[in-house]
Structures are given as structure tokens and as C-alpha cells.
Structure 1
Amino acid sequence: MSEETLTEQLEQLVAMLPEGAENPVSIADIAARLNTNKRTITAWVAFLINHKGVPIGSRRSTPSGYYLITSDEERNNAIAPLTAQALEELKRAEKLRSIDLHTWRNNFNDNKKVTTGVRLNTRSCFVPYSRRSFPTDTVSTLKK
């Protein structure tokens, strides 16, 4: 794709976005109208925000999609889930950093012998765990 074509598509993407969070346009609609895929749209939105300074917000609740931020409240509402996601990614990175690469399998096998279940977040997935594998405060947090 030529740089000129990409610039045109980025301009079209920005032109599609409504001002304000009330009626965001879905990523699927944008992808269909620009004849590309959702992953590309996500990358383009990140580029527009990070390199062109376009104030694009995303809404994860229904109706979900992208919009042009027009107020501090909308900006804060767009930033909050990004911050939460970034913190979760950092926790995951720290945990990976602390895992002993020589003993993790033994710990995993020992911990799976006595398990109960827990539902995590809103995805309602069953995850077996052993009470011995988590500090008490973590187990109580996970059960909430």
C-alpha cells in the first residue's frame, strides 16, 4: 500500500468517527467500509493517537466502538480501561519475571492435586486452583 493510499484511508477513518461518545462507530463497520480487518483498524487508531494526536476514544460497553473525544469526561472514560489493562499487563509481566524456570512445573503439579474452582472477571471461566498456591488475601479477592 502506498503512503498516499494509507493517508487517504486514515483520513477516511477519522471522517467516519462521530464527535462524542454517545454513538460510537463499531470497529467492524470501520473495517468493512475501509475494506480491511479489525486488527488493522486497531493499529491505525493507535497510530493516529500516538503519532498524529487525534483524540480517539473507544467505548467497550454497548454500543461499543470508536469516537472523537470532545470533553474531559470522555477523555477520562477512554483512559480508565486503558490504564486498567496496562496495569494488568504489568502485573502479568512481573509475575512472569518472578517465575522460577527450573521449578515451576513441580509447583504446578503439586498444586493441582487439591483444587477448587473460581470464576474470574466477567468471562465466567472456570479456573482450578489450590488454596496452597495463593496467599490468603489473593484467594479472598479471587472469590469476590
Structure 2
Amino acid sequence: MDKFNKAEQQLINLIPKGNERTVSLADLARLTDTDSRKLRALIFHLVTVHHIPIAGVHGTQSGYFIVTNEQERNQALQPLVSQVSELQKRIQAITDTELKKPVNAD
């Protein structure tokens, strides 16, 4: 079983299981007295190192929740896959752009 530090355990306890209700980043920041940048980093760490399936969703039920079934997993993955696709398009566009010689300022 994973060992969590105090901040990790507190965050896990505050994030609801299942997408029936979510908790916003602002609420997590208020409840933990932690800034949003640190919270995002902590959530990233919990997902990537400890394999806690924390989803962040936008829309009518914006916020974070812990994934408990395949439907919720798909709900969590869809915006991430879309974001990766958009980033790949941007990378390709920058890679393919012909660079022009800089204009001399003489």
C-alpha cells in the first residue's frame, strides 16, 4: 500500500469518489490553505506516481473527483486526449513553418 504524506492524504480525503459531485480547485485551495499551483502539482503527483485516478472535468460539474468506474475513466480521458491532439497540431504547425531570415535594423 502506498504511503502518503500529510498533504497528499488530506487532498485524497477531500476529493470525492465518483462524478456525482466534484470539488473545485478554489474549494480545495481554501480547504487546504494551499495555492492552486501547488495543488495542481500535488494532483499530478498523486496521479502519476501513486496512480490515484483523479479526474478534472469542465462543464456543468466542473471540478475534481476520483474515478470509480469505466464510464468515469472515459469522462476523464476524453478532454485529455483532445488536449494532446490539439498540442500535436500546434507542434506540427511550428515544426513545418518556414523560418524567414531576420530583418536587419540598419
Give the TM-score of the pair, scaled to structure 2: 0.86
**How far apart, in 2, do the equivalents of 1:69 and 1:82 lie?**
14
**How far apart, in 1, do the equivalents of 2:29 and 2:60 lie?**
18
Deviation, structure 1 residue 59: 1.6
Deviations 1:58-99 (A, max 9, x none): 121122111111110000000000000011011101111111
Partner of 1:54: 52
**SS class of match (2:23):** coil
Partner of 1:90: 88
| Structure 2 portions without partners, runs of 5+ | none
Runs of 4+ in 1 over 6 A off after TM superposition: none
| RMSD (Å) for aligned C-alpha atoms | 1.6
**How far apart, in 2, do the equivalents of 1:7 and 1:92 lie?**
38
**How far apart, in 2, do the equivalents of 1:13 and 1:50 lie?**
15
Higher-RCO chain (CA-CA 8 Å, sequence separation at least 6): 2
Give the TM-score of the pair, scaled to structure 1: 0.65
Richer in strand (by share):
1
Deviation, structure 1 residue 40: 1.6
Deviations 1:19-73 (A, max 9, x none): 1001100011001111122122111111111000101111211221111111100
Aligned 8 A contact 1:56 1:66 in 2: yes
2:98 aligned with 1:100:
yes
Aligned 8 A contact 1:57 1:66 in 2: yes
**Superposition pairs for residues 4-23 of structure 1, below 5 Å?**
7-23=5-21
**How far apart, in 1, do the equivalents of 2:29 and 2:41 lie?**
12
Structure with greater Cα Rg: 1
**How far apart, in 2, do the equivalents of 1:37 and 1:63 lie?**
22
**How far apart, in 2, do the equivalents of 1:15 and 1:76 lie?**
23
